[in-house]
Amino acid sequence: MRRSILLSALLATFASGAATAQNAPQTLTVEMSNFKFTPATLTLVRGRPYILHFVNAASGGHDFVAKDFFAAATIAPEDRAKVRNGEVELSGGESADVHLVANTAGTYKSHCSHFLHSSFGMTGMVVVQ
Ligand SMILES: [Cu+2]
């Protein structure tokens, strides 16, 4: 009896551990610099949780604009204020984490909307598989 209680406690621990690992969000880092996103293409799997970790490595401001992508995603309520009108705006040296789930497969464009930055190459893509 005692042994079976211990065994079920162990099994419950393993089961919850496995569930946590499966549902744990994966972090994807997007570095903004002069004048590119690294990586330029982000690949997500539809329906899985992610933390998009945006880092502005430059001294000046940049933003990550992907209106269609963000509009088709479910953004965690506590992170919604970080995505204003489909864009994440960061001053030099700032970073921000956005927890989200992408709901619709597709290829979405991203760019920095600061003056001339996208023409200097600050563009990218988000692919949702
Ligand atoms: Cu920029």
Name the pLDDT band for 8 (thresholds 50, 70, 90). very low
Centroid of ligand 1 to alpha carbon of 10 (angstroms): 51
What is the 109 CA–ligand 1 centroid distance (Å)?
A: 15
Taking only Cα atoms into account, the Rg of the chain, rounded to an integer number of angstroms, comes to 19
CA angle 78, 27, 127 (to 5 degrees): 95
CB 86 within 8 A of CB 41: no
Residue 5: what are its φ and ψ, rounded to 5°? -65, -45
In angstroms, the Cα distances linking 30 to 47, 52, 99 are 20, 7, 13
CA of 129 to the centre of ligand 1 (A): 27
Q: Ligand 1 centroid vs 9 CA: distance in angstroms?
A: 52
Question: Tens of pLDDT along 65-89?
Answer: 999 999 999 999 999 999 999 999 9
